[in-house]
Amino acid sequence: MLIATDRHRPSTRFPKSVKQVNESSSILKSGTSIKKLGGHVSKGRWRGMSIFSLTLEERKTCIISCEQWNDCYGNNMPFGHRIDHADPTFLLTLDLELAMFNARYPAGFVVRLHILGDFYSEEYAEFWRLAFIKYPALRIWGYTHVPTDSPIGLIVFSMNSKRCVIRASDRPDLSNSAQVFTDTTERKDFDIACPEQTGDALNCGACGLCWESKKRIGFSKH
């Protein structure tokens, strides 16, 4: 069951950037292709693990009630490489890539979920829950606007552990959450600003705060 009727949902502002699975050499991209991410983790319990990312289509996979709907950084990313989640081969191909990485990196590998996009259905959330069980080398981190008590949210947040950290976005009432802030945002809504954005960390791999700490992390609005 989708968050909303998918065919009636607004699409990305950059539809030509949405790729079918067979138009891409891989679904999961190396973190080296994104300056903010970095290619590997250099501190914390996931140290030494390679980082990969998954980018879906924003808006089409997101809840319309998202507070960042109009201000999402995806609205200004015309060259983002978005994978079409509606491609019937998407989940099968994604599973094959995870199996390959699980064999290639037995000590662990990290997937940063949803550079753009979100958990769009219970089936999709369940895919990740089962992948987390099937592939012991898999580590996951990301953020979601899906309500914690929704059917999708109950699946997603049940995965949180030492191997998986999904932060609830724009939920300052929760620890282990993520908030978007501006100059006018009250500092009480988060505990620490993203070190990569403040210049205190080279990239996510060199920071690790999002998966090592339960502090509420603030991200400056792009």
Q: pLDDT of 40-70, one tens digit each? A: 999 999 999 999 999 999 999 998 888 888 8
CA distance 67 to 34: 25
Confidence of residue 193 (pLDDT cuts 50, 70, 90): very high
Length of the chain: 222
Confidence of residue 5 (pLDDT cuts 50, 70, 90): very low
- Burial degree of 1 (CB within 10 A; 0-12, 13-18, 19+): exposed
What mean pLDDT do residues 153-178 have?
94
Residue 3 has pLDDT above 60, yes or no: no
Confirm if 41 and 49 have CB atoms less than 8 A apart.
yes
What's the pLDDT at 220?
A: 87
What's the pLDDT at 8?
A: 57
Residue 214 has pLDDT above 50, yes or no: yes
What's the pLDDT at 139?
A: 98
Reduced DSSP (H G I as helix, E B as strand, rest coil) percent helix, strand, coil of the chain, to 5: 30, 20, 55
Q: What is the pLDDT of residues 100-131, one digit of tens each?
A: 999 999 999 999 999 999 999 999 999 999 99
Q: Residue 160: which of 139, 181, 191 has the closest Cα?
A: 139
What mean pLDDT do residues 153-164 have?
97
